[in-house]
Amino acid sequence: MFLKVSCGGERMNENKEVLTKVTMTVKEVADYLGISRGTVYSRVKANEIPYVKLGGKILFHRETVDNWLAQLSKGVNINVTSKH
């Protein structure tokens, strides 16, 4: 999933608009959070991290992960629900 932005990003479409990826894979979210992929899978299995499952693939919405992480740093207990 990609979002149109005016600068920075990972891809350009045919109109030369820059597109930024808004979802992350398990590996990407592990790198982003500085944890192992095994820990990510454990958190998914325990429903402790927000994710979606599309076509059997686990994906994480970058903004949702950022919000979840911000809430955790404030000590707020978040009820995570996934769509799979």
Contact 71, 64 (CB under 8 A): no
Whether this model's pTM surpasses 0.75: no
Q: What is the Cα 29 distance to its own chain's centre?
A: 6
pLDDT band for position 74 (50/70/90)? confident
Tens of pLDDT, residue by residue over 2-31, are 444 444 445 666 766 666 789 999 999 999
* Class (C level, CATH) for 23-79: mainly alpha
Tens of pLDDT, residue by residue over 24-49, are 999 999 999 999 999 999 999 999 99
Q: Does residue 76 register a pLDDT over 80?
A: no
Given this model, what pLDDT does residue 80 score?
59
